[in-house]
């Protein structure tokens, strides 16, 4: 599942290949993926547009265009972006391909998506994203104080609140579990109940976890691949995420899996005690 580190990896891989290139065409085989404008207008307006910048905001990929417009993509759970030389046949199942973008540098960008939940939009700017996204956890505005203020508004479990994109942008199920483990905080603690030391630990853990994962090219636990087809390696370095039944790398206690707001949540019952430490 692409979260911040996976999207950051994709963006970093695509940037040197595509910045400066021009879209020559786009075919959409899953029409519902286009949020705006209409499919026909999307296909009419994108060709001829030059990519000036490729960026990330939360889990969104943003292609900034010379016209001032932006192509905004979201991979949801199973979306991938694969870059290939035009005409060279690929081994992607046809039914997984939801869109193919053609570029004037001889490459094609394939949007493949097993579950077809990924989306694209061609919009005037990025203003709409700002309204629904919290601060970038790796950015300069994300301080322990900001984290504390944002968490204190909520009494839901910390695990659920960390996954709320309005609170912090880019964290999903896997990295919320990893950050809570590193900070030694139980996933069911009320978000607003953390003391100052716990806030500091969590702030540091979030940044550490995300930076390390970017360094490993993300985690390929399900469909995630980099645009060149490579997998990431962060899944091998996880302390708790998707390690139910295996033992804690710190204390050898079996990792537990519990539902939190209907999401599989992995933690070490010994390293992450329920009570304040």
Residue 116 engages DNA in binding (rule: CB under 7 A)? yes
Residue 167 engages DNA in binding (rule: CB under 7 A)? no
Cα separation, 224 vs 227, whole angstroms: 10
Which residue stretch of 20-28, 41-49, 158-166, 246-254 sits at the interface with DNA (rule: CB under 7 A)? 158-166
Active site residue 59: yes
Residue 173 engages DNA in binding (rule: CB under 7 A)? yes
Active site residue 3: yes
Pairing of strands 107-113, 119-123: unpaired
Structure tokens at 158: 């910390």
Helix (H) or strand (E) holding 113: strand 107-113
Catalytic residue among 76, 114, 216, 263: 263
Cα separation, 72 vs 36, whole angstroms: 10
Helix (H) or strand (E) holding 263: strand 263-267
Size, binding site for DNA by CB under 7 A: 30
Residue 115 engages DNA in binding (rule: CB under 7 A)? yes
- Select 101 or 266, whichever has its Cβ closest to DNA: 266
Cα separation, 7 vs 5, whole angstroms: 6
Question: Judged by CB under 7 A, which of 3, 8, 13, 108 binds DNA?
Answer: 3
Residue 8 engages DNA in binding (rule: CB under 7 A)? no
DSSP state of 133: -
Question: Judged by CB under 7 A, which of 58, 134, 227, 232 binds DNA?
Answer: 58
Question: Measuring CA to CA, how many Å separate 48 from each of 44, 86, 241?
Answer: 9, 17, 43
The answer to whether 169 touches 129, Cβ cutoff 8 Å, is no
Residue 83 engages DNA in binding (rule: CB under 7 A)? no
Residue 135 engages DNA in binding (rule: CB under 7 A)? no
- Ramachandran area for residue 178 (φ above 0: left; ψ -120 to 50: alpha; else beta): alpha
Structure tokens at 199: 């806030």
- Select 8 or 23, whichever has its Cβ closest to DNA: 8
Residues 216-235 that bind DNA (CB under 7 A): none
Cα separation, 35 vs 69, whole angstroms: 15
Burial 37-53 (b: 16+ CB within 10 A, else e): eeeeebbebbeebebee
Active site residue 132: no
Residue 263 engages DNA in binding (rule: CB under 7 A)? yes
DSSP state of 253: P
The answer to whether 185 touches 240, Cβ cutoff 8 Å, is no
Which residue stretch of 14-22, 39-47, 55-63, 138-146 sits at the interface with DNA (rule: CB under 7 A)? 55-63
- Select 156 or 250, whichever has its Cβ closest to DNA: 156
Active site residue 85: no
Residue 155 engages DNA in binding (rule: CB under 7 A)? yes
Question: Judged by CB under 7 A, which of 74, 150, 159, 226 binds DNA?
Answer: 74
Catalytic residue among 5, 56, 59, 157: 59
The binding site for DNA (CB under 7 A) comprises 1, 3, 32, 58-60, 74, 76-77, 95, 114-117, 132, 153-156, 160, 163, 165, 172-174, 259, 261-264
Active site residues: 2-3, 59, 263
């Amino acid at each position: 599942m692409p979260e911040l580190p996976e999207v950051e990896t994709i963006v970093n891989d695509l940037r040197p290949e595509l910045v400066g290139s021009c879209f020559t065409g786009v075919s959409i085989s899953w029409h519902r993926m286009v949020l705006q404008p209409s499919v026909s207008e999307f296909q009419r307006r994108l060709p001829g547009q030059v990519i000036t910048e490729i960026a990330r905001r939360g889990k969104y990929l943003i292609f900034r265009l010379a016209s001032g417009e932006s192509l905004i993509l979201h991979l949801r759970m199973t979306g991938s972006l694969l870059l290939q030389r035009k005409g060279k046949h690929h081994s992607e199942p046809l039914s997984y391909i939801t869109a193919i973008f053609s570029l004037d540098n001889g490459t094609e960008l394939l949007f493949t998506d097993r579950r077809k939940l990924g989306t694209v939009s061609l919009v005037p700017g990025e203003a709409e994203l700002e309204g629904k996204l919290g601060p970038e956890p790796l950015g300069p505005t994300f301080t322990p104080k900001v984290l504390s203020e944002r968490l204190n508004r909520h009494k839901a479990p910390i695990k659920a609140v960390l996954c709320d994109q309005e609170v912090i942008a880019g964290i999903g199920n896997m990295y919320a579990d990893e950050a809570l483990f590193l900070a030694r905080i139980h996933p069911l603690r009320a978000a607003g109940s953390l003391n100052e030391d716990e806030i500091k630990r969590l702030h540091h853990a979030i940044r550490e976890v995300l930076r390390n994962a970017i360094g490993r090219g993300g985690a390929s636990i399900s469909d995630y691949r980099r645009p060149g087809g490579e997998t990431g390696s962060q899944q091998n370095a996880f302390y708790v995420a998707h390690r139910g039944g295996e033992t804690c790398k710190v204390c050898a206690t079996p990792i537990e899996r519990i539902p939190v707001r209907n999401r599989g949540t992995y933690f070490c019952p010994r390293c992450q005690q329920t009570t304040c430490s």
